[in-house]
Amino acid sequence: MDPRIFGPKRLLCHFGVLVVFLVCLRLGWWQWERSEIRGGAPQNLAYALLWPVFGGYAVYVWVRLLRMEIRGQQPTPGTGAPALGRPDGEGGRPGSALVPYVPPDPELLAYNAYLSQLNEAASAKQAATEATRRAH
C-alpha cells in the first residue's frame, strides 16, 4: 500500500474528511426535516440541498489534493492570478501580502491629505475650546 495514501497521518485525514462528509449529510437531513415541520419553507429546502454539496466539495478537494501529491504536482505560479506584495519587495518575502498590490491613486492621496488637514483643524479647535473652558 502506498504510504502517500494510506500512511498513519493520511488515514487520520481520510477519517476527518469522512466525518465532515457524514456531518454535512446529517445536517442536510436535519434541515430537510425542519423544512417539513415549517411547511416546506424555501430557505430550509435550499439549505437541505446545500449541505450535501458542501460535504461533496470537501471530498472532491481531498481527492484532488491526493492526486496532485501522487503525481508530484505543485500549484504553478503564473496562472493569471494577480501578483501579491509590493513591487519593490518591501514588507518581507515577495508575495507575502494578503491583498493584491494596487498602486496609489494620486487623487485619493490628495483627498486623504485634505482629510488630514480637516482633522488637524478640528483637533486644534477642540483643544482651544477645552483650554478656554478650563480657563473660566
Domain membership of residue 111 as a residue range = 104-136
On whether residue 126 sits in a domain, the answer given is yes
On whether residue 125 sits in a domain, the answer given is yes
pLDDT tens across 38-88, in order? Answer: 787 788 888 889 999 999 999 999 999 888 888 876 655 555 555 544 455
Whether residues 108 and 52 fall in one domain: no
- CA angle, 125 then 130 then 133, to 5°: 125
Whether residues 8 and 63 fall in one domain: yes
Q: Name 23's Cβ contacts closer than 8 Å, sequence gap at least 6.
A: 55
135 has pLDDT over 70: yes
Whether residues 65 and 111 fall in one domain: no
User: C-alpha cell of 44?
Assistant: 430550509
pLDDT-derived band of residue 108, with 50, 70 and 90 as boundaries? Answer: very high
On whether residue 90 sits in a domain, the answer given is no
On whether residue 35 sits in a domain, the answer given is yes
On whether residue 38 sits in a domain, the answer given is yes
pLDDT tens across 1-42, in order? Answer: 677 778 888 889 999 999 999 999 999 999 988 888 878 778
Whether residues 64 and 113 fall in one domain: no
What is the tally of structural domains in the chain?
A: 2
On whether residue 115 sits in a domain, the answer given is yes
Whether residues 111 and 67 fall in one domain: no
On whether residue 79 sits in a domain, the answer given is no
- Note the pTM of the prediction, 2 decimals: 0.50
- pLDDT the model gives residue 113: 95
pLDDT-derived band of residue 99, with 50, 70 and 90 as boundaries? Answer: low
On whether residue 55 sits in a domain, the answer given is yes
Q: Average the pLDDT over 101-116 and give the result.
A: 90
114 has pLDDT over 80: yes
- The conformation of residue 98, written as its DSSP 8-state character, comes to S
